Amino acid sequence: MKLILSIASRYLFGKKTTNAINIITWISVIGMSIGTAALILILSVFNGFESLLSGMLNTFNPDIKVTLVEGKHISKDSVNIDLIKKLDGVERISFSIEETSFFDYKGSQEVGIIKGVDENFVYVTGLDSSIVSGKANFNDEIDYALLGSGMNTKLSINPSDEYAIITAYMPTKEDQGPLGKDFNTLQFYPSGTFSVGSDIDIQYVLVNFDLVNQLLKLEDHFSAIEIKVAPGTNENDVIQSLEKILGDKFMIKNRYQQDEGFLKIMNIEKWISFMIACLTLLIIAFNLVGSLWMIVLEKKKDISILMSMGLTKSSIRWIFLTLGFLISVIGLVFGFILSLILYWMQKNYGLISIPDGFLIDAYPIELRFIDFIVVTLTVMIIGYMASLLPSIRAGKVSAFVRQE
């Protein structure tokens, strides 16, 4: 194997009779480097967006969320709240109740989701870090609401008008008779806006928990228990304890499971983009096929001599497979170096910016070790495929120089 590697290295770095072969060979190396860097950067940008968006959603979602498997609302009396609070690892719990509602503000009307939350909600989720303006006030002294930034825009909320009222309408469930109202109403004042960078912004209006119970004509009902896990606690242990207490009537989700659909879509987009870049790298690899084929044609005499000295056809094929691997490895190393340089420039200087109107100024980027492994395997497989045909051709060269 050492002899094969030595011959392959000599064929790569040694002087060729035709200068064009040298040029084509190093163009192949450059192409593989650019392709490698592109694969790393594509994965890194998607990693950056995934971390950014999931991090923003985490300020709205709790560590653990408990909801009903079937139905929407359940009475607090049917759940042993004290037992949940005493569980090891449970730092805080918050109750929430939500329902689709119709909102009206000074003639602007929109359909959205009204979510009733208690005072613990801010501490359980970390919502305070996502507040853009105003403040979160969920006590029952004054009827305040915190609106998603998108809903705030759709309703054309005027922050300077402190006395303008938002009215939420909810269809009545009971038959009210000919003189009864078709809708229950709830009026409140906007106290601020929040933004988590997703559809939540354009749908949600957060108000006091008891007020939404009144709007729905319920008493001490909830649609979700939102739990903050104490630092250093194993989340899975808490989930298993909750399953024992609550039974199969409830569905228990961690942070990832709460955004599972969104994260799966992000991953699908990520790997589709990766596959498209791989196709581009395959096209670049045709240049590698050409350069190896030309080296085979140039080295016919050397191959014949090596075979007449006892080198087998299998060893000859391995020489050119190794040559292809060497070109791929050099391209891979230079590609990694190039991607690290571009990563550093993007991270520190925002090399590629995002147009105005977004939450960030430049494309987010995040390197992950697993991506380097995936790209290494991809590049080496493509390099092997590109080397296969030239190596087979080299193995067919006759051991007799005159015949060749």
Q: Which DSSP string corresponds to 167-201?
A: EEEEE-SS---TTS-SEEEEEEEEEEEE--SSGGG
More confident position, 365 or 356: 365
**Same-domain status, 71 and 129:** yes
Q: Which domain range does residue 207 map to?
A: 64-255
CA diameter of the chain: 110
**Same-domain status, 286 and 179:** no
Angle between helices 369-395 and 19-57 (to 10 degrees): 150
More confident position, 291 or 145: 145
Is residue 122 a part of any domain in this protein?
yes
Ramachandran region of residue 357, left (φ > 0), alpha (ψ -120 to 50) or beta?
left
pLDDT tens per residue, range 114-172? 999 988 888 888 888 888 888 888 776 678 899 998 899 899 888 777 778 999 998 87
Q: What is the DSSP letter of 396?
A: T
**Same-domain status, 283 and 247:** no
Chain-centre distance of CA 301, in angstroms? 54
Confidence bin at 404 (pLDDT 50/70/90): very low
Cβ(307)–Cβ(313) under 8 Å? yes
* 254: enclosing H helix or E strand: strand 250-254
Statement: the pTM of the whole predicted model exceeds 0.85: no
Lowest mean pLDDT among 45-59, 263-277, 316-330: 45-59
Cβ(114)–Cβ(203) under 8 Å? no
**Same-domain status, 232 and 298:** no
Cβ(283)–Cβ(31) under 8 Å? no
Residues facing 93 on adjacent strands? 227
**Domain end point (choices 198, 224, 255):** 255
* 282: enclosing H helix or E strand: helix 260-298
Is residue 401 a part of any domain in this protein?
no
Residues facing 112 on adjacent strands? 101
Give the tokens for residue 374: 């995936």
Nearest 5°: CA angle at 18, between 338 and 26? 5
Is residue 165 a part of any domain in this protein?
yes
Domain count, the chain: 2
Top-confidence range, 243-257, 282-296, 370-384 = 370-384
pLDDT tens per residue, range 214-262? 888 888 888 889 999 888 888 888 888 888 888 888 888 888 777 777 7
Among candidate residues 2, 25, 8, the one with its CA nearest the CA of residue 303: 8
Give the tokens for residue 9: 């290295």
Is residue 167 a part of any domain in this protein?
yes
Residues facing 193 on adjacent strands? 133, 147
**Same-domain status, 175 and 309:** no
Is residue 404 a part of any domain in this protein?
no
Lowest mean pLDDT among 116-120, 185-189, 390-394: 390-394
**Same-domain status, 80 and 191:** yes
How high is the mean pLDDT of the chain?
83
What 3-state class would DSSP assign to 270? helix
More confident position, 25 or 242: 242
* CA distance linking residue 73 with residue 80, whole number of Å: 16
**Same-domain status, 289 and 359:** yes
pLDDT tens per residue, range 302-337? 778 777 777 777 887 888 888 888 888 999 999 999
For the chain, report the end-to-end CA distance as a whole number of angstroms. Answer: 26
Give the tokens for residue 403: 């015949």
**Same-domain status, 250 and 328:** no
Is residue 400 a part of any domain in this protein?
no
**Same-domain status, 214 and 107:** yes
Is residue 179 a part of any domain in this protein?
yes
**Same-domain status, 209 and 106:** yes
* CA distance linking residue 292 with residue 301, whole number of Å: 16
**Domain end point (choices 212, 235, 255):** 255
* CA distance linking residue 94 with residue 223, whole number of Å: 11
Task: Give burial (CB, 10 Å; 0-12/13-18/19+) of 206.
Answer: buried
**Domain end point (choices 233, 255, 277):** 255
Give the tokens for residue 212: 């939404």
**Same-domain status, 33 and 79:** no
**Same-domain status, 71 and 195:** yes
